[in-house]
Amino acid sequence: MRYALDVQYIGKNYAGSQIQFDKDGVEIKPTIQGELERGICTLLTGVRYESLNKIRPVKTVFSGRTDRGVNAKGQVIHFDYDKDIVASKFVYQLNEILPPDISVSDLRIVPDRFHAQKSAKKRYYRYEFINRKYKQAFDGDLLRIKYPVDLIRMQEALNHLLGEHDFSSFKSSGTLNPSRVCTLYDIQCSREGDKVIIDIAGNRFLYNMVRTIVGTLLKIEGHKLPPSLMKEILEAKDRCKAGQTVSPYGLTLMKVEY
């Protein structure tokens, strides 16, 4: 049977979501996937796996990879297991095993054709940063922009990204997938006190794409460049034209829609 599970995590203390191995097949710790699979294997097999290898008793598939420092409130994974699992008991026990910055919810049986990554229709990301000259104790790791930003100008720039485009200008060199075309369905920027929030919904995202879009937006706003420059950068399909890739802290995978 195939099971789907909702996962939440704070990414600060992890080397990303995806499990990684060195050239000798030894697990590189810690990762979100590694911690999850260790907990799941412990519950389902009764054996405590202190370290995993490429041949794992239970393998999880994520809806999408998140990088070091990136959070998730709505990550979805699937895994296969040939016995019935009592959802409420499993979720409770797994949460007791997992580190305090990882949690799970809503275990459910899904059709065998369901695939956490390939079946996803929309992914929703949020980036938050502080817009204030002086720091405050509870800013945490969020990026702080000291100059005042204009949300009307920012929204005008972001609107140029809506629709289906080649987003090569906003991809990092680590992108393995040769496809550069994505569709963005909605982009909104808003403010809550000193915090600026950028919500982006799309069918897929390239490696570091959201963080580079935000960096480009801040480049335009910081130098008071015309918002239409975002369209020129998009059409250039040249990473050198865009802004820097901003900090991963403040980026959260909010929801995956199937």
- Give CA angle at 36 (31, 42), nearest 5°: 130
Residue 205 gets which letter from DSSP? Answer: -
Q: CA-to-CA distance for 11 and 7, rounded, in angstroms?
A: 12
Residue recorded with tokens 């054709």:
113
Nearest Cα to Cα of residue 128 among 71, 185, 65: 71
**139 carries an active-site annotation:** no
Phi, psi at 94, each rounded to 5°: -65, -40
Q: Out of 6, 67, 84, 106, pick the active-site residue.
A: 67
Q: Which residues pair with 93 in a beta bridge?
A: none
Consecutive H or E run containing 89: helix 87-97
Helix, strand, coil percent content, the chain, rounded in steps of 5: 25, 30, 45
Q: What is the number of other CB atoms lying within 10 angstroms of the CB of residue 256?
A: 21
Contact 184, 200 (CB under 8 A): yes
Active site members: 67
